[in-house]
A and B are shown apart, each in its own frame.
Chain A
Amino acid sequence: MFVYVPIVWSAYLSFFDARATIRPTQFVGLANYKYLLTDSLFLNSMLTFIVFAVFIVPLTYVCSLALALALDNVGRLRAFFRSVFFIPTACSYVVAAMIWRLSFFNGARFGLMNSVLSSLGFEPVDWLGGSNSWYWVALVSLRLWLQVGYYMILLIAGLNQIPTDTYEAAAIDGASGWRRLRYITLPQLRATSAAVLMLLLIGAFQAFDEFYNMLSTAGAYPPYARPPLVHLYLISLGGSQQDLGLGGAGTMILTAIIVVFGLAQNWWVTRPDRRQQ
């Protein structure tokens, strides 16, 4: 009920002009959709998502797969390393943003990154100020740190389902480590990988907490680096605009995009079966 009613309501509301009210006032048809789809701010938020996803999805996948493979035969320290890489999952984006914003990527000279840079003889960088694009480094590294352990665990679960005798057979055939990875591990991990990539993509699409907490200042959010949810929040509830009709239309567009992601993933996972038929 709390899933479907809101979607239906926002579909309904999206056809109306509902500024600063939750009751539809005037029927405007598709005007809200038309406005959003031609609004450069909304399109920019989509671009922000794409840039973010292009960095964070492959990076997290490769790093968590590398960790999962590395831990697979590390021996007695396995449980210890697994816990260490997994534990950032327990940290909230708010606290992580605090560390990243005030310590690691503080634009002042006392920030950790700037201290390191100046000890190497470089000028301090204005990481989050928006005068350059370095804020991406902060945003991507934060999310990478926080979520890589979680996906590592999912991939370890996937690795454990691969039958050991496949590897034994490959070892007898003299297959090298790289070839085993390429021809056994990766194909067998296909379903898990597809699920992980999908979760990563949806996660990136929903990014809000770290953007908001790392970039906004007393009551204001800077004009750059606004992913879709931040933009939706600012136009519908968080800003002065309070346009819920527009918010409803935005919700529908974002929901549609997510459904397309899901269908694409479904197609990708079931593709090899279809080829065999």
Chain B
Amino acid sequence: MSSATSSTSAGRMVRGRSGRVGHVVKIVVLSLLAVLFLLPFYVIFRNAFTSEETFVSPDWRWIPDNLHFSVITDLFSDSDLDLATAMMHSAVQSIGQTVLTVAVSFMAGYGLARFPNKATGVILKLTVLTLMVPAAVTFVPSFIMTSEFGWIDSYRGLIIPVMFSAFATYLFRQSLLGFPKELEEAAELDGANPWTVMWRVVLPNSMGIVAAVSTITFIGAWNAFLWPLLVARDNTMTIQLTLSRFMTSQGIDYAQLFAGALIAIAPVVIVFLFLQRYLVQGMATSGLD
């Protein structure tokens, strides 16, 4: 890309020799930053497979000295930690929340994009307004309402109060505004009702934004902490809560804790690596302004 004809996006200039040197310096600096950004991930790995003696020794060692697969298998057989159950709880909660959030926000976003009138205008304003007041701030009354319903320590309590996402609705609306109306009209001519049009025509042709919103919701749900901390007890204890509880207790088994962290971030990192393309596109097309 050192030629003068590079043309991906903005800011293209003819580069002279000094420009080429600058380019190399930039690559070096970015590479160093990249190492720094990946360092915490390596440290999880290093700590998980490092013996206790090495971990607490004042000489920091980069290479793990306890590289055995048993570290992971022991983790799952430890009934005190109960990692497998926590992972299961987190999976149900995150997948449930993702499916519901996507379904609800898709319908809301489609309605707001396709049927503009005074009422939807007001709803859009209200949606933007709730974007401003995040769910975390209202955790006290949300908790009160959830416990009134008797939903403490249930998936309903974990998912339903946090599944309405103004951000997701907004992203869907912005994206669906650009959906070709001809496609919908063609389906209507064939006798499809608006409901069928939405599910059978619009949804299958909007998988990019659906993937983007799903990724962002799944990551948020899997990593959620404050709301599960309030609502989840033994029957719905999520992986983040389990890790947090062990981290803040006394007498920590460092290797075990970090092996748990390794397991905990694996699903999100995998989802992220596969779907981040959609995330980047989704945010790029809908924009923020």
Contacts and interface: CB of A to CB of B under 8 A. Distances in A.
Which of B57, B60, B129 has the largest count of A CB atoms less than 10 A from its CB? B60
A3 B130 contact: yes
Contacts of B44: 95, 99
B223 interface: yes
Nearest to A100: B40
Interface in B88-143: 129-130, 132-143
Given A95-B261, A160-B284, A13 B247 contact: no
A77 B249 contact: no
Contact of B56 (A87, A108, A154): A108
B269 A22 contact: no
A145 B288 contact: no
Nearest to A4: B130
B137 A254 contact: yes
B11 interface: yes
Q: Which of A2, A83, A101, A108 has the most CB of B within 10 A?
A: A2
A116 B250 CA distance: 26
Contacts of B268: 90-92
B199 interface: no
A100 B252 CA distance: 15
B226 interface: yes
A93 B224 CA distance: 9
Nearest to A207: B136
B289 A164 contact: no
B269 A90 contact: yes
Interface residues of A, number: 103
Nearest to B272: A90
A157 interface: yes
Contacts of A1: 164
Interface string B263-279: 01100110111001001
Contacts of A108: 56
B124 to A, nearest CB: 14
B288 A158 contact: yes
Interface string A212-244: 110011110000000001001100110000001
A258 B265 contact: no
Interface string A133-162: 000000000000100010001101111111
Contact of B137 (A110, A156, A180, A206): A206
Given A2-B160, A92-B240, 19 more contacts: A3-B138, A7-B141, A9-B141, A22-B144, A74-B26, A75-B1, A87-B37, A91-B41, A92-B265, A98-B247, A101-B247, A102-B254, A156-B280, A159-B9, A159-B10, A160-B9, A229-B226, A237-B230, A262-B132
5 contacts: A91-B269, A103-B43, A153-B279, A180-B11, A258-B132
Interface of B: 1-2, 6, 8-14, 23, 26-27, 29-30, 33-34, 37-38, 40-41, 43-44, 47, 55-60, 129-130, 132-145, 147-148, 160-164, 166, 219, 222-223, 225-226, 230, 240, 243-244, 247-250, 252, 254, 257-258, 261, 264-265, 268-269, 271-273, 276, 279-280, 283-284, 287-289
